């Protein structure tokens, strides 16, 4: 199996969802604790890639039978038999090793807390078998991205207090992580629109299959307003840039969902706008730190 096939297997492009928020968590911690920019960024990026790859390989392994029964996903590597289970498990071990080694190179707290994302990744594929809340669990998985990067830097200064002392993380990074979780949940319930008939036939629980189109659209708008509120409340540098970017991307996401029938490929448009959201927020944060213009 070559690198192109591995990239297709783990959907490497989906890393574009979590990566900007990893960088946002890192930047906030560096600025907050005056750590300076150094090699820790490399370790954090390796850990992020490892975590993302681990999450996807576990999802593909656990969901292979479900994928095989769904016309949209039956061509996936494990479902179609183009990849062996042995290869999939080897990739899983490699990504897990990337996560653990890089976390260990950061600090003890990062290494000792690596079990948390691993646990959420293992649980997620099973959630859809029992509850439509699986979309929010996926949100939790990605919401750990900025929190993990922040803790990796904060723990260098504060040790375990980076986790146990709520006064350190509650005002800013918690709100951002919650915002990411709600943002991904909003995206995922719309992504699940593609599989409504298959989900109902297989007894898979998803928000659209249980509540229908109108409820999915209405809930997307509500979740989008909530994640905007989280980002606005976090206001990491009290800058108009991050606030304006949050509002702009909330409007863009809501617009795409409301006008879904006018797009020739709604899912592709939604993917691009959702992916762009994190990068716009990251850019606004960088600009805010650079000019330091208070509101």
Please tell me the least confidently modeled range out of 45-49, 81-85, 269-273.
81-85
Tell me the domain boundaries of the chain. Answer: 3-291
- Rounded distance between C-alpha atoms, residue 27 and residue 290, angstroms: 12
Does the domain formed by 3-291 have CATH 3.40.630.10?
Answer: no
- Please, which pLDDT band fits residue 276 given cuts at 50, 70 and 90? very high
pLDDT in tens, 150-198: 999 999 999 999 999 998 888 889 999 999 999 999 999 999 999 899 9
3-state secondary structure 72-127: CCCCCHHHHCCCCHHHHHHHHHHHHHHHHHHHHHHCHHHHHCCHHHHHHHHHHHHH
| Secondary structure letter of residue 128 according to DSSP | T
Mean pLDDT of 18-27: 94
Indicate the pTM of the whole model: 0.92
How many whole angstroms separate alpha carbon 87 and alpha carbon 93? Answer: 10
Look at residue 109 in the predicted model and tell me its pLDDT.
Answer: 96
Dist. CA 293–CA 63, nearest whole Å:
48
- The confidence band for 295, taking pLDDT boundaries of 50, 70 and 90, is very low
What is the reported pLDDT for 80? 86
For the four alpha carbons of 87, 90, 96 and 100, in that order, the dihedral sign comes to negative
Per DSSP, the three-state class of 294 is strand
Q: How many angstroms separate the CA atoms of 82 and 68, rounded?
A: 12
Mean pLDDT, to the nearest integer, of 272-284? 94
Nearest CA-CA partner of 56 in 17, 21, 9, 19: 9
Which tokens is 132 given?
């439509």
Secondary structure (DSSP) of 253-278: HHHHHHTGGGSTTHHHHHHHHHHHHH
Q: Count CB-CB contacts under 10 A for residue 148.
A: 27
Pick from 282, 284, 292: nearest CA to 19: 282
187 contacts 63 by C-beta, under 8 angstroms:
no
Which of 119, 113, 182 has the alpha carbon at shortest distance from 149? Answer: 113
As a whole number of angstroms, the longest Cα–Cα distance in the chain is 56
What pLDDT, on a 0 to 100 scale, did the predictor assign at position 293?
Answer: 47
Query: Is 89 a residue whose pLDDT tops 70?
Result: yes
- Please report the pLDDT score of residue 170 as a whole number: 83
């Amino acid at each position: 199996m070559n690198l192109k096939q591995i990239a297709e297997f783990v959907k490497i492009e989906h890393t574009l969802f979590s990566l900007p928020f990893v960088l946002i968590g890192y930047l906030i911690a560096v600025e907050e604790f005056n750590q300076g920019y150094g090699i820790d960024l490399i370790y954090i990026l390796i850990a992020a890639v490892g975590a993302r790859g681990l999450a996807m390989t576990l999802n593909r392994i656990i969901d292979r039978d479900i994928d095989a029964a769904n016309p949209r996903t039956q061509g996936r590597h494990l479902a179609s038999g183009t990849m062996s289970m042995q290869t999939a498990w080897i990739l899983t071990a490699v990504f897990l090793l990337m996560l653990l080694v890089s976390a260990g190179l950061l600090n003890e707290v990062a290494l000792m807390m690596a079990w948390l994302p691993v646990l959420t990744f293992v649980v997620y594929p099973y959630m859809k078998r029992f509850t439509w809340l699986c979309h929010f669990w996926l949100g939790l998985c990605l919401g750990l991205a900025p929190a993990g990067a922040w803790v990796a830097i904060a723990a260098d200064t504060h040790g375990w207090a980076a986790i146990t002392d709520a006064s350190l993380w509650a005002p800013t990074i918690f709100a951002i992580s919650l915002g990411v979780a709600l943002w991904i949940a909003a995206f995922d319930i719309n992504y699940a629109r593609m599989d409504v008939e298959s989900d109902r036939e297989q007894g898979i629980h998803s928000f659209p299959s249980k509540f229908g189109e109108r409820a999915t659209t209405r809930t997307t708008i509500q979740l989008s307003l909530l994640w905007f509120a989280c980002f606005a409340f976090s206001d990491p540098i009290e800058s108009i840039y991050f606030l304006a970017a949050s509002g702009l991307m909330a409007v863009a996401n809501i617009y795409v969902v409301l006008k879904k029938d006018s797009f020739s490929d709604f899912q592709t448009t939604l993917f691009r706008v959702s992916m762009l959201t994190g990068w716009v927020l990251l850019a606004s944060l960088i600009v805010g730190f650079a000019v330091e213009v208070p509101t």
